[in-house]
Amino acid sequence: MDPQTIVAQNVDEKIIYNSIVYSYLFWLFGALYVIAPVIAWVLFARLLYKKISGQQTCRISISHYVWVFGMLFMLIALVVGHLDFGLGIGKLIKSSIGWAKGWALLAIFPLIGCLSIRPEIIYRACCRVCKHTILLFPLFLIAWKVGLPSTLYVSPLSIIGGPGPEFFSVSLYEIDPGSGVPRWRLFTPWAPALGMLGNLYFIFAVQEKDSRWKKWGIAGSLLMVLMSQSRLGLVCYFALIGFFTLFKLVRSPLLYFLLSPLMLLIGVVGEATINKIQISIAAIKAARADSTRVRQALADIAVERWMNEAVIFGHGIVERGPHMVEYMPIGSHHTWYGLLFVKGVVGAVALAIPMLVTFLILLIRLFSQPMARVGMAILLMLSLYTFGENLEILAYLFWPGLIVLGMTLRAEEPEAVLKKAAALKD
């Protein structure tokens, strides 16, 4: 098939492709936060039906089940935490629904990757979103220049409940309180989340086979990272560039010729290099000193209260922080601190084990299966963002990455899965 004419070949691909391509349209209706959980559970139901009826040709691997059990332990920790602190049935039901829209997606979407879905469909869809971003950026820039309201409206869909109104609002731009300069979050709840999506779309753009769409994808993903002005976004972007560059050179003798003098040079100027790295890290933190201070204070409060009040199963729910952290939720801006505070050691282990198992499986396949490199890049991005975001809150945005990650954990390559499915229909 001509790479320029990639089209969805089945219902599953159509649902996924359209859900990604029309991101900006869903954003205008404030429906993005709703779309992801809906398609997750719908496609999961289709997967179960196909499995029961014998139509499912792809074997679900042990690593998929590790994610499933990990997220189920999240639910167990949630229930026990509510019972320990006597939070009541109402809050337990609300938190369980939140689990179904958050942590559960980290297990469901990788399972959906076992359906007859081509990764190329997701790559192309994300490149189209990057193109839309480039075309729409002048409008967002003009909105700031002429002084339009930063937030136009909050969708009525916010009545269904969610982490906050920012998940349902249509924002044209925002002003950074520390620097006073504009930054953009587009269809994400806050600017650093846009940087995260930019990195995910960069991973997919690199895999795109059509050069025209690849250029749109790379340019659009970089624009997202720059618009977000996210420090972590830039660090992750450069890390991904290094990751993919390394694999282009790893089979070339040129790499070893370059590494030999490089290692010698590092040995000579190692101390100076370490000092420069430390200075660079300090400069990055100083770029938003207030943000760094708040993040550190949130982390300190989360760890202290976790150790003194709820070590094993956590507090069960997120709590509002004091004035010193601008009333932000305790444990926010950090997946691991948030897990320790809300779900205790059980929750942290329930995420760490699936991530570790996934890393080991992909590491084994890294040099034999091209898809494993894509999965490792996604895992690298998610790992970095555990130190700057709460993954479960943003799962409704990076779910395409979870599907592709699920594909990389399959025993078969995507082409083999599609051939089996076609043979079954015949």
What residues contact 214, with CB distance under 8 A and at least 6 apart? 127, 205, 206, 208
Q: Are residues 20 and 125 in contact, defined by beta-carbon separation less than 8 angstroms?
A: yes
CA triple 316-321-327, angle to 5 deg: 130
Q: Are residues 76 and 346 in contact, defined by beta-carbon separation less than 8 angstroms?
A: yes
What residues contact 127, with CB distance under 8 A and at least 6 apart? 201, 204, 205, 208, 213, 214, 216, 217, 220
Q: Are residues 108 and 115 in contact, defined by beta-carbon separation less than 8 angstroms?
A: no
CA distance 178 to 291: 8
Tens digits of residue pLDDT in 241-269: 988 888 777 665 555 455 556 555 555 54
Q: Positive or negative CA dihedral for 242, 235, 379, 115?
A: negative
What are 426's two structure tokens?
A: 């015949």
Q: Which residue bears the tokens 């000193």?
A: 289
pLDDT of residue 1: 43
Residues of the chain with pLDDT under 70: 1-5, 55-58, 178, 250-293, 295, 321-328, 331-333, 411-426
pLDDT of residue 270: 46
CA distance 30 to 39: 16
Other C-beta atoms closer than 10 Å to the C-beta of 75 total 18
CA distance 201 to 79: 35
Tens digits of residue pLDDT in 128-162: 999 999 999 999 999 999 988 888 899 888 888 77
What are 412's two structure tokens?
A: 């078969």
Helix orientation angle between 191-207 and 391-408, rounded to the nearest 10 degrees: 10
Q: Are residues 129 and 220 in contact, defined by beta-carbon separation less than 8 angstroms?
A: yes
Closest-CA residue to 402 (of 101, 23, 122): 122
pLDDT of residue 25: 94
Q: pTM value?
A: 0.86
pLDDT of residue 331: 67
Query: How are beta strands 169-171 and 174-175 bridged, if at all?
Result: unpaired
pLDDT of residue 288: 55
pLDDT of residue 340: 86
Q: Are residues 113 and 405 in contact, defined by beta-carbon separation less than 8 angstroms?
A: yes
pLDDT of residue 28: 92
Q: Are residues 237 and 202 in contact, defined by beta-carbon separation less than 8 angstroms?
A: yes
The residue extents of the domains of the chain are 10-250+288-425
